[in-house]
Every structure is written in C-alpha cells, then in structure tokens.
Amino acid sequence: MYQVSEKVISSKWISLTPTNISSLVIDSLCNQFRDRDVAVAGLYCDYLSREEQSTTNMLGAILKQLLERDGIPDPIRQAFHQGKRVLGGRAVRLSDLVEMLETTISSLREVFICIDGLDECHPTNRRELLESLREIVRASPAVRVFVTGRPHVRDEIKRYFTEAITIAVIPTTEDIRRYLKMRLDRDPTPGAMDDDLRAEIMRIIPGEFSPMWVDQPT
Amino acid sequence: MERITNTQSFGPGRNVTNNYGKTVALNNKTITVIETDGEDNQIKQWLSPLEPRHKHQSVQTSRMDGVGGWLLKTNEFREWSGSEGMPKHTVMFCYGHPGVGKTCIRLVRKSSRASGYH
C-alpha cells in the first residue's frame, strides 16, 4: 500500500553534493560581478577523465575561459604559431601556461578560479596543479581560488595554502526539506500519496538527518 | 532564434562575438553553427581540449534552486568573495562527501519502517 519510500530512495541526493556547490558558487560569482571587469573560470575534475585531465589541459581550460572577455593576446598567438612549426606541432608547456595565466590575470581587475572535486584528479596532476596555482596566487594579488573536494585533500591544500579558509559542505535541515518537497512534488504516481503521509515524511526525515549532517563550519 | 555556440562562457551576458558563425536552417529553427577551423578556436584547442562549460551546464540543470544557498550567506564566503578590498583569505576550500546520498537513502528506508509504512 505504501510505495513512496521506494520513489524517494530511488534517487540520489544529487542536489546536495559539493559539485552542486561549485556550480552554485560559479553562478553566484558570475551574477555578482556581471557588469564589472571580473573573470570567473571553472573546472570540474572527474575521476573518469583522469587521462584527459592532465595538468596542462586543466590549466589551459582555465586560461581559455579567462581569454573569453578580451580575446587571445598576441603573445599567446605567437606561442601557438611557434609550437606549430615544430614537427607534428608542440603541445603547450606547463611553465609557459603558468606564465600566460599570470600575464592574462594581470590584465584583469579580479579573477576567480573555481575547481570542483580536486580529489578526483590524479595525485601527480593534483600536486602540479596546486603548485602552479600557488605560483599564480603569489604572482597575482587579483586572483581568488575556490576548491571543493573530499575531506582527505584538505591537508594537502593546507600544505600549499596555509592561509586557506575551509568550510564543510553539508546539507542543512532546510536543504533536506527543500529537496524532499521537490521529490514529493515530482512524484510520478501522486495517487499513492496523501497529505498525512506527506506531512509525516516532511516531519520525520529532516529530523533523522539534522543531528548527523548539520555541523559547524571549521 | 536558437544559437548554439561553443564559445559561451559561464556567466550570463558573456557571449563572445565570433567571426566564424554560419547560419543554417534546421527543423524550422534557425541555428548558428560555429565552425571550428578558425584560428582562435585552434588556439583554444591547443591550450586545452577540455570544455568545463559543458559539465557546468549539466550540473546547472540538475541543481535545485536554493540548495546550498547557506554557503553563499556565510561570513566566510562573503568575506572571501567580497568586493571591498582584498580579502584575508585568497583560497577557500569546501569539503564534503559526494557519496552522502547513499547514507541518506538508507536512512529514508529506516525511518519509513520505523513510522509503520511498508
């Protein structure tokens, strides 16, 4: 007679992950600074794309986004043509990329770099990425970095950025209520639901989670 | 008119003017197709074949309005992103478990049994 729990549990809590926080932060920064000389670049690390997500590809993806505002400057165009002259074409080098990023960032008033799921990067690439970011941050006071990841990369980040502020991404009771409401509203067989059951779900489930997940940011 | 572009940035109003646009008609819709053989696109491809924008767009679609909004309201985030002067912290790290869903799902089962629904 009661089938709703199956429908609720059939879905992952996709709305409550750090990746969604990353996308929320990117959108919020874009909206906040829409009319100003501020650039926002995002990068989503993915365990399944580790091979493609080399350090140079990741930094190159950030650079591409920063170039969208003012176009490609001559030094980068020249580096591309020089690379093409080498037999088979030469891939962009990490040290060149870091330099290009520093130069590009210096031409912008403020830059936000948002990196999602840092733990999903290959450990070697992650170290190179963090080293490069540290170099860029040191050279460019205009840059700010937002990173999400699993708790175990926290110490690694602290090693590279001792001053980094850390915060736990955990759904609040309100997040859970909102999510439940959305799931119940989208129930494909609303006939199995009545107001009492709905009220009970809304009462019991957030209560079950709140002591577990609502935590103070550290 | 629908415009498909591979040079659109994350933010609204950040569409980049592209010289390689070609307009074609498809299923009664006018679509601008961006050719990828322009030098700018070659350079972008040389810098990186990754397109984080695609992932961003799919996450954006699955994301629920308002969820996680508490983070944007914390003093830490506001100070980090703040526009008045440079913040004390250049780097902000948010950590969590992408696997949080599984634990929640198990508890949903438990709670519905506890309340007598089967």
> What ipTM describes this predicted complex?
0.77
pLDDT at A196 over 90: no
pLDDT at B9 over 60: no
Structure-token pair, residue B98: 């992408």
CA distance linking residue A166 with residue B77, whole number of Å: 10
Tell me which of A10 and B34 has the higher pLDDT: B34
Transcribe B20-47 into DSSP letters: TEEEEEETTEEEEEEPS-SHHHHHHHHH
Contact A193/A187 with Cβ under 8 angstroms?
A: yes
Structure-token pair, residue B57: 């767009």
In this structure, the answer to whether residues B49 and B104 fall within a common structural domain is no
In this structure, the answer to whether residues B69 and B58 fall within a common structural domain is no
In this structure, the answer to whether residues B48 and B101 fall within a common structural domain is no
Residue from B19, B61, B108 to probe the interface with A (highest A Cβ count within 10 Å): B108
In this structure, the answer to whether residues B88 and B43 fall within a common structural domain is no
Least Cα distance to A41 among B75, B56, B96, B44 occurs for: B56
Tell me which of A30 and A181 has the higher pLDDT: A30
In this structure, the answer to whether residues B23 and B81 fall within a common structural domain is no
φ, ψ at B115 (rounded to 5°): -95, 10
In this structure, the answer to whether residues B28 and B51 fall within a common structural domain is yes
CA distance linking residue B79 with residue A109, whole number of Å: 18
Return the axis-axis angle of helices A74-85 and A94-106, rounded to nearest 10°. 160
Between A28-32, A103-107, B60-64, the lowest mean confidence (pLDDT) is in B60-64
Instruction: Give the CA radius of gyration of chain B.
Output: 22
Domain with CATH 3.40.50.300 in chain A: 18-160
In this structure, the answer to whether residues B56 and B17 fall within a common structural domain is yes
pLDDT at A2 over 90: no
What's the average model confidence in pLDDT over B9-20?
43
What's the average model confidence in pLDDT over B74-81?
88
Least Cα distance to A23 among B17, B89, B84, B94 occurs for: B94
In this structure, the answer to whether residues B78 and B116 fall within a common structural domain is yes
In this structure, the answer to whether residues B58 and B98 fall within a common structural domain is no
pLDDT tens for B86-115 read 677 899 999 887 644 333 433 444 444 444
A161 touches chain B (CB under 8 A): yes
pLDDT at B14 over 50: no
Homologous superfamily in CATH for domain A18-160? P-loop containing nucleotide triphosphate hydrolases (3.40.50.300)
φ, ψ at A43 (rounded to 5°): -145, 130
Q: Chain A contacts of B107, Cβ < 8 Å?
A: 205, 208-209
Between A71-85, A160-174, B37-51, the lowest mean confidence (pLDDT) is in A160-174
Residue A201 carries which DSSP code? H
CA distance linking residue A132 with residue B17, whole number of Å: 31
In this structure, the answer to whether residues B32 and B14 fall within a common structural domain is yes
pLDDT tens for B16-52 read 434 444 555 555 555 555 544 589 999 999 999 999 9
Q: Chain B contacts of A157, Cβ < 8 Å?
A: 91, 93
Residue from B9, B93, B102 to probe the interface with A (highest A Cβ count within 10 Å): B93
Question: What Å distances lie between residue B9 and A65, A66, A97, A171, B52, CA to CA?
Answer: 7, 9, 20, 29, 10
What's the average model confidence in pLDDT over A106-110?
91
Structure-token pair, residue B29: 């819709």
Between A2-6, A59-63, A94-98, B59-63, the lowest mean confidence (pLDDT) is in A2-6
pLDDT tens for A40-64 read 999 999 988 988 999 999 999 999 9
How, if at all, do strands B91-95 and B21-26 pair?
unpaired
Contact B11/A40 with Cβ under 8 angstroms?
A: yes
Nearest-CB residue to A5 (from B40, B76, B109): B109
Instruction: Give the CA radius of gyration of chain A.
Output: 22
In this structure, the answer to whether residues B55 and B86 fall within a common structural domain is no
In percent, the amount of chain A with pLDDT more than 90 equals 50
Domain residue limits at B117: 64-118
- The pLDDT score that the predictor gives to residue A208 is 65
- The pLDDT score that the predictor gives to residue A44 is 95
Query: By three-state DSSP, how is residue A160 classified?
Result: helix
- Total number of domains constituting chain B: 2
DSSP H helices, chain A, are: 4-9, 18-32, 55-67, 74-85, 94-106, 123-139, 154-160, 173-185, 195-213
